[in-house]
Amino acid sequence: MSSRELADLVRNIPDFPLPGINFKDITTLIGNGPAFQQVITLLTDRYRDRGITAVAGIESRGFIFGAPLALNLGVGLVPVRKPGKLPADTYQVEYALEYGTNKLEIHRDAFEPGAQVLVIDDLLATGGTIVAAKQLIEQAGGTVVELAFVIELTFLNGREKLAPCPIFSLIQY
């Protein structure tokens, strides 16, 4: 399946969850077995020999891709979650959204010393979420090797916020 065919499996939902937002719906991509498998294979091939010791997935769509990727790489999965979900001691970060603010948390003891972390989420938009997640991961002692996304909305220039951290995306719009 070409990357164009993968891109065509992502469904556009206009005006969700707010007027003016063109929501990229990945359920139509992950609902297609060969497409889901290919996404995970492409990511696994990219990260197999990169010395990754942990995958950090961003709640909740980052978990969908992070879990099979961590399994394939033979490393653990660290969840970066919305507030109040993680039961042990956490670090928390608050970040600005287009309207209002959001929070993310990570367990303080999520990583072994020297952890080399691959961070994954479904989609890079403005970059606010991933900047906050990266901050948390570093606070918990992880070194971020790369930030991976299935989809990147290039016109929002999220990449610029993240420089010089390496970024990879499979599908660009």
98 is catalytic: yes
Burial of 45 (0-12, 13-18, 19+ CB in 10 A): exposed
Q: How far is the CB of 102 from ligand AMP (least distance, A)?
A: 8
160 part of the active site = no
Check residue 23 for interaction with ligand AMP (CB under 6 A): yes
Q: Does 126 bind ligand AMP (CB under 6 A)?
A: yes
Residue 118 contacts residue 56 (beta carbons within 8 Å) = yes
Q: How far is the CB of 132 from ligand AMP (least distance, A)?
A: 8
Give the burial string for 115-126 (b: 16+ CB within 10 Å, else e): bbbbbbbbbbbe
Of residues 48, 50, 94, 98, which has the active-site annotation?
98
- Integer Cα distance of 63 and 151 in angstroms: 15
> For residue 31, how far is the Cα from the chain centroid?
19
Q: Closest CB to ligand AMP among 53 and 122?
A: 122
Site membership for ligand AMP, residue 116 (CB under 6 A) = no
Q: Does 24 bind ligand AMP (CB under 6 A)?
A: yes
Contacting residues toward ligand AMP, per CB under 6 A? 21-24, 58, 61, 121-129, 158
